[in-house]
């Protein structure tokens, strides 16, 4: 039988080739499983049993980092999910080990999401100085995030030829390399058009870093057409910057705009299945976290529909 370490490597290769999981997912699973391997000091998969898992669960629950911070329940769940997936893979290969079904996930408190109210969104969008190229780019980024509900990784991967301003829609590839159609609002199309008209370069990325003091020969100096592409971290800093300028006390991230996009759709009577498709969620239960929106209308429904005769 292969060593424990080798089986983990083969499992990660299976995720990449057979399951078409993203490199980020594979890196995370690799980390979670290596932590278990280092903690358990197991050399053979036959050493994994119910008692070992119980001790591991206690270890995760009692773990504290150098700042004394405990692992959140959801983080502990990620470690267990990775281990359970690994055990399922071994069972598929007829390698005798502990049944994955015996691994129960930690109970996680109901997830809450942060989104912007319409007045907060208006304040945020009005912050960039649109009279310079970086400000115009930033306004366009904010409008595009809210119009499409794109993940930040999807946004930064866009190229100029990814979208056609003659149309209101374009295709992106999200998690698991799954394609989906996203839509541009009239406002987002207008800002994209204005931004691209001001671009003097021939670089491929839709959103790039514009040096404040570019040399006259800067275009000639750049030979890599993929150069200057903004990173997810850059987008996060941009969103955070304007949220602070707008005086918004919430922790505003690019994902907050994705949440705001979904919330806006549901408040305007979009059905949950359509929202699921536009967000690119594989499972409807992921989208159901947004049902907080419909909760606000329950009072009116109760008042209208339930009363003593």
HEC states along 244-261?
HHCCCCCCCCHHHHHHHH
Superfamily (CATH H level) for 118-295: Intergrase catalytic core (1.10.443.10)
- State which CATH number among 3.30.540.10, 1.10.150.130, 3.40.50.10490, 3.30.360.10 fits the domain covering 4-102: 1.10.150.130
> Minimum mean pLDDT among 12-16, 95-99, 211-215: which range?
211-215
**pLDDT for 294 beyond 60:** no
Catalytic residues: 151, 175, 255, 258, 281, 290
For the chain, what are the domain ranges? 4-102, 118-295
Instruction: Report yes or no: 3 and 44 within 8 Å, Cβ to Cβ.
Output: yes
pLDDT of residue 109: 65
- In degrees rounded to 5, what are phi and psi of residue 183? -125, 145
- Three-state secondary-structure class, residue 70: strand
Q: Does the global pTM surpass 0.75?
A: no
Q: Distance (Å, rounded) from C-alpha 97 to C-alpha 102?
A: 11
| 206-234 per-position pLDDT tens digit | 999 998 765 544 544 555 777 899 999 99
């Amino acid at each position: 039988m292969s060593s424990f370490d080798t089986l983990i490597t083969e499992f990660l290769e299976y995720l990449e080739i057979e399951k078409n999981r993203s490199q980020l997912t594979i890196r995370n699973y690799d980390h979670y499983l290596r932590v278990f391997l280092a903690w358990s000091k197991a050399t053979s998969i036959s050493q994994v049993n119910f008692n070992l898992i119980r001790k591991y669960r206690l270890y995760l629950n009692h773990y504290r980092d150098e700042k004394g911070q405990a692992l959140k329940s959801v983080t502990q769940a990620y470690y267990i999910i990775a281990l359970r997936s690994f055990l399922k893979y071994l069972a598929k290969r007829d390698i005798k080990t502990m049944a994955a079904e015996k691994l129960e996930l930690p109970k996680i408190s109901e997830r809450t999401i942060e989104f912007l109210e319409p007045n907060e969104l208006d304040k945020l969008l009005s912050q960039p100085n649109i009279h310079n190229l970086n400000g115009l780019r930033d306004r366009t980024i904010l409008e595009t995030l809210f119009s499409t509900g794109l993940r930040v990784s999807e946004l930064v991967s866009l190229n100029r030829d990814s979208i056609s301003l003659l149309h209101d829609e374009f295709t992106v590839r999200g998690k698991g390399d799954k394609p989906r159609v996203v839509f541009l609002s009239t406002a987002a199309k207008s800002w994209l058009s204005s931004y691209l008209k001001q671009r003097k370069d021939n670089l491929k990325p839709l959103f790039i870093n514009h040096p404040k003091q570019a040399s006259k020969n800067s275009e000639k100096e750049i030979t890599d057409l993929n150069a200057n592409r903004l990173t997810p971290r850059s987008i996060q800093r941009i969103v955070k910057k304007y949220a602070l300028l707008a005086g918004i006390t919430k922790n505003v991230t690019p994902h907050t705009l994705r949440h705001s996009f979904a919330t806006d759709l549901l408040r305007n009577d979009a059905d949950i299945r359509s929202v699921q498709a536009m967000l690119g969620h594989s499972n409807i239960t992921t989208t159901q976290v947004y049902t907080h929106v419909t909760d606000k209308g329950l009072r009116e429904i109760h008042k209208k529909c339930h009363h003593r005769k």
